[in-house]
Amino acid sequence: MEFQMRSRVKKFESLKDINEIVALHNEVWKNSTGIIDLLKKSTDCFVLFNEGSQVIGYAFVEEDKKRRFVELHDLAVSPKCRGRGGGRLLLQSVMRKYPHIKLIARKSDDRLVGFYRSQGFELESVYENYYDVNEDGARMSWRRSVQKEKIMR
């Protein structure tokens, strides 16, 4: 079942939201300290809530105004809620706000790279050993065109 009207994406507004985002990050990334960098560097955060107003996903972006794009640093959905369109809903919220998005995804994760391709992202380059030895990063980008602009309205 996909997320419908009861689930929504919005900016976080309270410390409760931040605490839930940190808890979700720890669940998805196994207590990685990366959440600190996300909170410090990000210029925008989109949060997916379930019908009970609990955080079940987020997307952090950092805007590079000089080069006119945003870097999608992290998009995460609770493992209990995956496969129902939450990641797509978050990504499309970012795409509605920003006309040019770049990201790096684990190249060996065909499901993840396929997800971004299905949303219109294209491979720009590959960073060898980006994640670890023999774990390359796929640099992907998406740019809104006039045609895409009409579709998204």
In contact, 101 and 142? CB cutoff 8 Å: yes
Separation of alpha carbons 4 and 6, rounded Å: 6
Instruction: Indicate the domain borders of the chain.
Output: 1-98, 100-153
Please compute the mean of the pLDDT values over residues 140-145 and round it to a whole number: 96
Cα torsion angle, 77, 78, 82, 84, sign = negative
Give the pLDDT confidence of 87-105 residue by residue, as tens digits. 999 999 999 999 999 999 9
Give the 3-state secondary structure of residue 139. Answer: strand
Q: Collapsing DSSP states into helix, strand and coil, what is residue 133? A: coil
Torsion of CA 18, 130, 87, 117, to 10 degrees: 150
Mean pLDDT of 70-85: 92
Banded model confidence at residue 77, pLDDT cuts 50, 70, 90: very high
SS3 state at 50: coil
pLDDT of residue 5: 43
Which tokens is 53 given?
Answer: 């107003």
Query: Any idea which architecture 1-98 has in CATH?
Result: 3-Layer(aba) Sandwich (3.40)
pLDDT at 51: 84
pTM: 0.79
d(CA 52, CA 42): 26
Model pLDDT for residues 8-22, shown as the tens digit of each residue: 676 666 667 788 888
Q: Parallel, antiparallel, or unpaired for β 55-64 and 122-132?
A: unpaired
Residues 97-140: tens digit of each pLDDT: 999 999 999 999 999 999 999 999 999 999 999 999 999 999 99
Positive or negative, the CA dihedral 39, 35, 125, 140 is negative
